[in-house]
Structure 1
Amino acid sequence: MVWLVAVIALVMWLLFVLKDARQVKGSKLLIRALLGFVAVASLALLYLEPQIPTARSKSLGIILTENYNKKQLDSLKNLHTSLIEIPYNEDGFRQEQLDSIDKFYILGNGIESYDFWQLHARNTSYLGGNEVRGIIRLNYNERFTLGDSLKILGAYRKPQGTQLILKDPAGTSVDSLQLTTSLEDQLISLGETPKATGMYIYTLVEKDSLGKVQRIDPLPIIVSKKEVLNILMLQTFPTFESKYLKNYLTADGHRILSRVALTKGKYKFESLNRAKGTIYGLTKSNLENFDLIIMDIASYRQLSRSSNGALVSSLQDGLGMFIYSDGNQINTLSSFGFKFKRASQQVLTLPQYPAVTIPSIPYKFIDTPMHEPILSTNSKNITAYSLQGNGKVGTSLLTDTYQLQLRGNAAVYNYIWATTLKALRKKSNVSTWWSAEDIMATADKPYKVNLRSNLKMPTALNNRGNHIGLKQDLTQKNKWSTTIYPKTIGWDSINIQQDPTATHYFYVSDSLAWEHKKAYTTTTKNKAQFNNSAKEKTSLAKITPLNPLWLCGAFLIAMGCLWLFPKWRG
């Protein structure tokens, strides 16, 4: 539209100049041409209705969110008499509330992360609010296999003789924890082993020192049938890491074929929970018998061209692979889309086990669209995988995890490897993989779900058969995402119309569930978002429409001068 108007205006101006060129010469022609240009340009701009940046007023705004401190608000009002109050709720802001303000203060728990964009590049400071007390951190294994245990870990801020009781779906107490009165955070550790597969709602009951129930919060879990995997382990030499991993996998019932290089072309084979076997070169045929390959980088680099070709083909068909990394020759993994950067850390911790340190190689993942997280901490990947067709290739920054067993942290060791193997294992005839940050959504709040699909145009449906819009990633055509706003409290699901078996189950809670944890998380995100920079941000200028009276005035002045021009000449 802009180009069309510009071309028409240019043609009109050229016709005007050609007409005057027959009657007027020299500097007078130049003056009339300039006046004609002003007149034509004013008409064109009146049609296009341009907008211009204008400076914001120097007023201060204070955004009041839940749990703000009234004394803090009064102090700010005494300092800034012209302070503008902006109440914040789940509906967010109105844009006109923000446009007239140059600097913002946020009081209380903070705004939701999905509203951060409204204050992007604005001069904003987060001042906090009343202290959040109660369960501020909670991690538990939301999805696991039968035989594994439900493990609940977290932190309780400033308990006052509080008792926590874990109840099963029938309402029976299965575990409890008595907290002492303290001004410090106390760690929470509760657990239970479900007896059957299915989707269940456990509850965590919080009682005060007098035994009165203060809160009841849901803990949805999905227990699936245990799968026995056929695993091939390839090593250039035996290590403690591989020894302990074999013992763990064998005790868990998996069928293992281990190959360790002795000299060039000679290997030691070990068969565990399966018939004796050997495997030398990799072929498409012999790899069909395995769900997962575990190898070190050196073994991968020593594969022959034919073995590597068979491996790549099997990965495309759904085979899973995990590659050990000790930091040497780590750039070899770039062929699978992984990128790394040198780092200083020697140990890492998992949010599920914050008190346990795990040895790490001195590298960190560089985020790329090619890989997805398996284990992460503070939004940084620790273990990740890259999709290779229908298969997955994973690697980790963790090393020498067997030391966890030696230090009595077998639960952490089991969690790391159970989570990793579950994410990488071969899935037969599966065209779609779902992922979400949490199994729990909140009613009427956005819940984002990601999926990878080999289908050309997957169609997503909710459990009522209604279509859900999917957004395709610009760089990865098999990656999609959607954001939904669930309404009904209870179990809900999303599935793919072309593949009904590919279903993502999640639980919808009310807005009061895990209130203290949500408040603490919101506070932490606001601190990171708005108090992250030492220098103040420059507020964006306000975009406002150009006053049409200026354009009308310019047009009338130009036309008046053109009308008077012959009279001046006479």
Structure 2
Amino acid sequence: MHWSQLPTTETLLTGLVAVGILGLYLFVSRQTVSGKELLLRSLLLAVVLFSLCLIIWKPQYAKEQQTGSAFLVTENGLSVPDSLPVFALHGVKGDESVTSITDLAMLERSHPEIKQVFVAGYGLDPEEAKSLHRIQLTFLQKDRPEGFNWLDYPHKVKAEEALRVSGNYYIHSSDSLKIRLVTSEGAQDSVWITEKHPDFTLNAYPRLPGNFVGEIQVIQNKEVRHEPLPYIVTPKGPLNVIVLQAYPDFETNYLKDWLSDQKHKVQVRARISQDKYSFQQINLPTQKQQPAILSKASLGNADLLIADAESLEQLSAQEKKQLQTAIAEGLGLLLLPDDKWPQKADVLGHKFAVHTTGIKKFIPVQLSALDIVSDAIEKLPVAFSDRQIIVPIVYSKDKEPVATYMPVGSGRVGVQLANGTYTWILNAKDKVYSTFWTDVLQGLARKKEQTEVKFKQFPFAWEDNISSLVYTDTAVAEMTVQYLSGIKEKIQPKIDLPETRVTTYPFYPAEAGWLTVTSDKDTTHAASVYVVQADKWKDLKQASWFQANSRVRSVTTINANQTFTTWKNIPLVWFFMTLLIALSVLWWREK
């Protein structure tokens, strides 16, 4: 309590009691004690009573201070300066001059004079900064981190479908290195990385179902670095495909035959004349009534819709609305464009940023899974702009996107620019044709993750590092995490609004390896996720935190070098000493 806070109820009550005791003593002692002695004893009693009041009040004093700075060392921290107080976070080891703290909130509470913190090393989990009120963070990472800057691949694939690993590996020197993908079935694909070409895509086609941990190998100067790559292979199942055909053509007819051979369930609506259509069911039971393949229910069950440009234009307003809703909820749409499409570059109202490249040309398509370059195929004279988020599925040999898509809600809208892929079959290149269309379908088909569990910073979570599990379902309940050692742990939900379709669970993995996650609301569904060792993928962790930290905004309201007032407690030992001395003298005088 500071003097400026007086009076308070507490001080008034204790003060009145002390004055009453002093007055009563004077009244009782005035007849028996002489005037000077009574004055001395009264002063001593007043000191005793006042000391007791101060012990109860716990007074404080104001102290003007300058805002200061500190240095925070995180994992893989830089050199420590001599001019600033130094703190260490997340178990980072330091010498005797380094003060260990559990989190930034602790630093803010215990050191109110610190308003600027310079962070060195991998950085901080972005969640750390959200709890701050006064401290401004400055991250000292100046250069783009060397090594893996980002990595993306599907956590779960179906048997014989592409396990496509994409990423970026940045190197500062002019040297080159090789990145190789190794699965449980052996070495699958590799690519050379240089400073000018840091991006890479590696492909594998696993056949055996199960949980596996493959490897990404970085080979440079005869040294090999091994990083774990966990993935899950599920049994192959058929897709539900809808095909809209405005007129008969070889491309669509061959594609329907291939879909049939692959055991996919296909519904076809082909236009015969104005407002008249023929319907075909492939690998489906025959229906007596005409199927409503563009109904809300049918689109909700479908994984992919394939259509030519004219079929989409002929849809009614109601059909377009239902199709757009289905795409937003996860349906994939693939357009087979005609020669006029580049003029509008529109797919159901979704505009692709493109420019024409002249006349049609024949290009070879690169199929990494076969380790060959296909026969040249005719491609529309279109190139995609870098200003738009476009995800390539299949490239040409010259790295031009041949099949690509844009994300729309939970679904994908794609376009395939190669004309006449059926000529591969005519030229006895059936495997090329099958691989091409398998990649296209896998890239666009609905991603069935209604009850999927994954890490928020997928693809990895690190042992002994803050993480978050995301459960893509409306169910909000406790989750049970079970490690390979048998240890079980309960984690509580944190609802992320407005993302009402997902629930986030803050999580601190205690062990590396495969773990099982089960919702207490649905114990029949168990998901497997993988936690990597703390010393693995360090550059990827550094890059992910570096990118997240670069978006952290200052939360301080006090400028550096500005004065501010803090309140310090007066040590109570002084009041106890004064009390004892005054009591001793008073006792001696009374004696």
Pick the TM interval, shorter chain.
0.5 to 0.7
Q: Does 1:103 align with 2:116?
A: yes
Find the residue that maps to 1:203 and give its secondary structure: strand
1:134–1:478 Cα change, 3 Å: closer
Alpha-carbon distance in structure 2 between the residues aligned to 1:55 and 1:126: 28
Contact 1:108–1:128 under 8 Å retained in 2: yes
1:419–1:118 Cα change, 3 Å: same
What is the identity, as a one-letter code, of the residue corresponding to 2:455?
A
Pick the aligned partner of 2:453 from 423, 428, 434: 434
Alpha-carbon distance in structure 2 between the residues aligned to 1:108 and 1:485: 20
Larger Rg: 2
For residues 434-459 of structure 1, the C-alpha deviation after alignment (integer angstroms, 9 at most, x for no partner) is 3434253211222312224465x644
List runs of 5+ in structure 2 lacking aligned partners. Answer: 1-8, 10-55, 92-101, 307-311, 336-345, 352-384, 422-431, 571-591
1:237–1:200 Cα change, 3 Å: same
Q: Does 1:449 align with 2:449?
A: no
Q: Name the structure 2 match of 1:65.
A: 74
Find the residue that maps to 2:447 and give its secondary structure: helix
Pick the aligned partner of 1:168 from 163, 183, 205: 183
For residues 229-271 of structure 1, the C-alpha deviation after alignment (integer angstroms, 9 at most, x for no partner) is 3333457789999889868855654121122455553124344
Query: When the two structures are superposed, what TM-score results if normalisation uses the length of structure 1?
Result: 0.59
Deviation of residue 502 (structure 1)? 2.1
Q: Does 1:197 align with 2:200?
A: no
Q: Name the structure 2 match of 1:566.
A: none
Q: Name the structure 1 match of 2:90.
A: 89
Pick the aligned partner of 2:198 from 186, 197, 200: 186
Pick the aligned partner of 1:418 from 420, 442, 445: 442
1:267–1:174 Cα change, 3 Å: closer
In the TM superposition, 1:511-550 aligns within 5 A as 511-530=534-553, 538-539=557-558
For residues 21-52 of structure 1, the C-alpha deviation after alignment (integer angstroms, 9 at most, x for no partner) is xxxxxxxxxxxxxxxxxxxxxxxxxx9x9xxx
Q: Name the structure 2 match of 1:267.
A: 277
Query: When the two structures are superposed, what TM-score results if normalisation uses the length of structure 2?
Result: 0.57
Alpha-carbon distance in structure 2 between the residues aligned to 1:176 and 1:484: 34
Pick the aligned partner of 2:128 from 83, 91, 115: 115
Q: Name the structure 2 match of 1:299.
A: 315
Deviation of residue 59 (structure 1)? 2.0
Alpha-carbon distance in structure 2 between the residues aligned to 1:515 and 1:103: 27
Alpha-carbon distance in structure 1 between the residues aligned to 2:161 and 2:233: 9
Alpha-carbon distance in structure 2 between the residues aligned to 1:56 and 1:249: 75
Deviation of residue 198 (structure 1)? 0.5
Alpha-carbon distance in structure 2 between the residues aligned to 1:241 and 1:543: 75
Q: Name the structure 1 match of 2:409.
A: 384
Pick the aligned partner of 2:218 from 186, 206, 209: 206
Contact 2:330–2:409 under 8 Å retained in 1: no
Alpha-carbon distance in structure 2 between the residues aligned to 1:208 and 1:478: 44
Contact 1:67–1:130 under 8 Å retained in 2: no
1:151–1:474 Cα change, 3 Å: closer
In the TM superposition, 1:355-394 aligns within 5 A as 382-385=407-410, 394=411
Q: Name the structure 1 match of 2:38.
A: none
Q: Name the structure 2 match of 1:348.
A: 389
Pick the aligned partner of 1:156 from 169, 183, 186: 169
Deviation of residue 163 (structure 1)? 4.3
Q: Name the structure 2 match of 1:489.
A: 512
Pick the aligned partner of 1:400 from 403, 406, 415: 415
Q: Name the structure 2 match of 1:461.
A: 480
Deviation of residue 347 (structure 1)? 4.0
Alpha-carbon distance in structure 2 between the residues aligned to 1:410 and 1:121: 60
Contact 1:140–1:352 under 8 Å retained in 2: no
Alpha-carbon distance in structure 2 between the residues aligned to 1:302 and 1:139: 37
Find the residue that maps to 1:115 and give its secondary structure: helix
Q: Name the structure 2 match of 1:40.
A: none
Alpha-carbon distance in structure 1 between the residues aligned to 2:403 and 2:294: 35
Contact 1:450–1:479 under 8 Å retained in 2: yes
Contact 1:113–1:525 under 8 Å retained in 2: yes
Contact 1:348–1:357 under 8 Å retained in 2: no
Alpha-carbon distance in structure 2 between the residues aligned to 1:345 and 1:168: 32
1:303–1:289 Cα change, 3 Å: closer
Deviation of residue 422 (structure 1)? 4.0
Find the residue that maps to 1:528 and give its secondary structure: coil
Contact 2:332–2:446 under 8 Å retained in 1: no
Deviation of residue 485 (structure 1)? 1.7
For residues 402-451 of structure 1, the C-alpha deviation after alignment (integer angstroms, 9 at most, x for no partner) is 45998x999898556425424159xxxx8x44343425321122231222
1:111–1:86 Cα change, 3 Å: same
The share of aligned pairs that are identical, in percent, is 18
Find the residue that maps to 1:110 and give its secondary structure: coil
Q: Name the structure 2 match of 1:147.
A: 160
Alpha-carbon distance in structure 2 between the residues aligned to 1:525 and 1:460: 27
Alpha-carbon distance in structure 2 between the residues aligned to 1:513 and 1:173: 20
1:151–1:293 Cα change, 3 Å: closer
1:264–1:415 Cα change, 3 Å: same
Pick the aligned partner of 2:231 from 221, 236, 239: 221
Contact 1:241–1:402 under 8 Å retained in 2: no
Alpha-carbon distance in structure 2 between the residues aligned to 1:272 and 1:237: 19
1:548–1:168 Cα change, 3 Å: closer
Q: Name the structure 2 match of 1:232.
A: 242
Contact 2:210–2:232 under 8 Å retained in 1: yes
Q: Name the structure 1 match of 2:96.
A: none
Pick the aligned partner of 1:505 from 528, 536, 540: 528
Find the residue that maps to 1:99 and give its secondary structure: coil
Contact 1:229–1:290 under 8 Å retained in 2: no
What is the identity, as a one-letter code, of the residue corresponding to 2:147?
G
1:433–1:324 Cα change, 3 Å: same
What is the identity, as a one-letter code, of the residue corresponding to 1:491?
W
Deviation of residue 298 (structure 1)? 6.7
